[in-house]
Chain A
Amino acid sequence: MLLVGVGWLALVLFLCSCSSIPPAQRVSPLGEEGAFPPRYSIVFIIHGDDGYLYHDVRGDAYRADEKTLAKAKTVAQRNPQAEVFIFHERRRRHFLLLFPRRDGKFYYYRHGRLLAEESYWRDQGDSRFDPEVELYHRYRAQGRPDLIKFFLYFGHEIPEFGGAGYDASYSKRTFTVDDLADGLKHITGDSTKLDLIVLSTCFNGTPHTIAALAPYGRYIIASPDNLHLSYFDLDSFEQLDVGLPDGDVSAFAKTFAGHAFDRLTEDMQTAVTVAVYDVDRVRGFLDAVESVYDQALTTLKGQTPATIEHFDCADDPAFIRPGMSEGVDVFYRPPRFGRWKHNQSHSGWECWRRREQPSVTSQPLEPIQK
């Protein structure tokens, strides 16, 4: 009798988990949320399908993705003139180890109110962001070409090649910067560029990443170096009517980056690097180093992560160009400890090279000073 009961329960759960009908929760119908169209559009993609545990200086533990999700919801609620899309890419879980549960969660806010909440499958479609792009186009406000548009991605370093294992739930599925660029291409469609792209990740301030995203954004904020999982602070996005009164995205990007930098340097002992890229103005440098950078990437493809490392492009004469710092505003503070604590600057551009074999035995290490 007990087995029959468990069997029925399992069947019901299985049918529910595989249902093609999305479990949408429309809080209020679109069109009834207010008469005036939104002025800002903000898209958050928060990757949570991997290890995102971190601790503050008191030793309290946090999940970076959950913390960011809560902050993104606050941004959504405090911007009455915005529409906000939040996609939370979660770890794939199974009920009773057998029945898969949806691994994406979508929230749509307009005028500060939650209008839709929906779970979805992340691995549906040929391209990585197909489900997100479909939801974006289903809900976005129509007929407002002068929207100021933001896109923010939070997660681990987005790989420039390879990319297998980015998702803990899908070890063979790959994710690279080109997949992100493809997603942005389908989000922007034929309309104007995004005004600001924010990559709250490690090591994505590279010539290849910025070049890949350049067709879809006017300004890009990224960290060329390590970035702690507490991420860029989102305070500047609360109340955009106050922070961005005249629509000057360039000034807003620098304010956001400066504020994020200040917040990170309060508690972090590791390096803090935030860079703002003016896409039109960095084009000359990107074109100049494209071939040498791509050649380096090609050489390193197939190497294991432990055998390659990042470095400031300015440390290699092959990447040094007269206009290297043109269009890049860099906020940098070296780590308080370690080999690089005497570094006083960063060019804002990160490159790749083969790592010298690690030695744990005898070779003396001279702290590096630039």
Chain B
Amino acid sequence: MLGRTAFRFIVIMFVMVYAGIALGQDGLQKYFNDASVKVKATTDPSQKREILNTSFEKMSKALGKVQSSPLVSRDDRAGIELFKATLQEKQDELAGLNGYQRVSDEQLDAFSDYVVQDMEQADQKITISLVAALLIIIIIILLVA
């Protein structure tokens, strides 16, 4: 009995650790990709804008909560600050604020691709740790729920 329990515990731990790593690493890209898929699935420009705007706002809120958490390092805070700034620029461009020309209705699908692709460049500019990334995703899941 004890042996079975121990074995189950090991298997559960194994699954949870790997699932957690995968969620933290890929969650941010998947989050914006899901928004892009939703944008393309609708034909109404105002709905497209709302989907994009909501995705930016939820992410910004999650970033703010994680940034103030004692679990993240100083380097993570700087990385999150930069991430927030790039998100804000995209939100401004979508709305045509702060000197940006408003993204036209015809360009909204392409803009949603731009948001996804900007997250997927082969550099490491969004330098946040796995712990911070995992926290962000968990908070986003809680915000959606």
A residues whose Cβ falls under 8 Å from a Cβ of B: 1-3, 6, 50-51, 53-55, 57, 59, 61, 64, 96-97, 155-157, 165, 168, 200-203, 226-229, 231, 267-270, 304-307, 335-339, 355, 358-360, 363-367
Contact = CB atoms under 8 A, between A and B. Distances in A.
Given A306-B79, A358-B81, A365-B100, A337 B111 contact: yes
Contacts of A307: 78
Contact of B122 (A6, A57, A202, A359): A202
Contacts of A155: 122
Interface residues of B, number: 51
B117 interface: yes
B68 to A, nearest CB: 14
B121 A226 contact: yes
Interface string B84-103: 11011110110000111101
24 contacts: A1-B3, A54-B120, A55-B29, A57-B113, A59-B37, A59-B40, A97-B10, A157-B122, A157-B123, A228-B120, A268-B117, A269-B117, A304-B78, A305-B79, A305-B127, A306-B78, A335-B114, A336-B111, A339-B89, A355-B82, A365-B89, A366-B99, A367-B99, A367-B100
Q: Which 7 A-B pairs have the closest CB atoms?
A: A358-B85, A269-B114, A202-B123, A306-B78, A2-B3, A59-B37, A157-B123
Contacts of A305: 79, 124-125, 127
Contacts of B122: 64, 155-157, 200-202, 226-229, 231
Given A54-B29, A360-B88, A365-B89, A156 B99 contact: no
B10 A2 contact: no
A67 B118 CA distance: 19
Contact of B29 (A1, A53, A168, A360): A53
A364 B99 contact: yes
B33 interface: yes
Contacts of A51: 25-26, 29
B143 interface: no
Contacts of B107: 336-337
B26 A337 contact: no
